[in-house]
Amino acid sequence: MLSEEDFRRLLAAGDIARRIKRELGKIAKPGARVRDIAEAIEARIRDLGGSPAFPVNISIGSTAAHYTPTVSDNSVLPESGLVKIDFGVHIDGMIVDTAYTVDLDDTYRVLVEAAREALDRALSIVKPGVALREVGKVVQQVARKYEVKPIRNLSGHRIDRYNLHAGESVPNYNDLLTPWRFKDNSIYAIEPFMTTGAGMVSEDKTVTIYALKSGKLKGLRSSEIEVVKHIISEYKTLPFCERWLSNRFRDAGKILDSLYRRKFLRGYPVLTEVSGSPVSQAEDTVVIYGGEVHIVTR
């Protein structure tokens, strides 16, 4: 149940997200360093009084989600292709989540427009009692119109306090097995992904984003205990990355890798379209409060 204070925090977080999209919406240009883009967005979130809800995802081409630049990443955006920028803002654990796609040389306009229109149409049907699968039906209809495919194994999600994925998925196709309905006093991220490929993603071996799986300190080395205590204090159950720890902890990358291998951390593997085809994404957060629908990230 959302309190009035929770709702005000969500509105404030949404305002920060909107401002960043306005101010930094064109920061993704050919030749721009990927790490600089992520850190500029994260810094601006903090400057405006929020906190990043997760490391900024910058996904290029057929990469669909879950890549954030590492400390050693000096890669730059290519001259051509799609770049998905996905970021979240939280205020005291109340989270909004938003994403947009940049077409670096106007080659993939159809994919960008398909994701945007699918999101617009999906948002227009949101109200208490509507089945979440109705969003998937709309997304699938728009994909057919543009002769592309939605990513079937990526979905939107219900959000709760300090919980980015709160157990209910908003499908991107007409999934008759999705049982949930939109509820009052609830938060949802709706995010269509479109591709010209197979419409499925698979997990890479690369992991650059983590979340705490266990707060237990038994069995940890002293250096690891310090890191875990910091994670609990700063991020709680929200995702984080090596970049956020590297200035404070020596060998942060090695420590995270060790904690991940020993299952103290959950990893979010990079997700890539299985046929290697380009992927577009559009995302906004909807808050249903007092029976009214608020698209807080617009």
Catalytic residue ranges = 86, 97, 157, 165, 191, 283
Cβ atoms of residues 289 and 7 within 8 Å? yes
Cα separation, 179 vs 23, in Å, equals 39
What sections of the chain are H helices per DSSP? 4-24, 34-47, 109-124, 133-146, 222-234, 243-246, 252-261
DSSP 76: B
Cα separation, 100 vs 79, in Å, equals 18
- Locate tokens 């090695």: which residue? 254
Q: Write the CA distances from 177 to 128, 131, 171, integer angstroms.
A: 19, 11, 10
Cβ atoms of residues 50 and 90 within 8 Å? yes
Residues sharing a CB contact under 8 Å with residue 143, sequence separation 6 or more, in sequence order? 114, 118, 149, 150, 194
Residues sharing a CB contact under 8 Å with residue 228, sequence separation 6 or more, in sequence order? 212, 215, 217, 220, 259, 264
Cα separation, 156 vs 142, in Å, equals 16
Cβ atoms of residues 44 and 241 within 8 Å? no
Kindly report the length of the chain.
298
Cα separation, 287 vs 189, in Å, equals 9
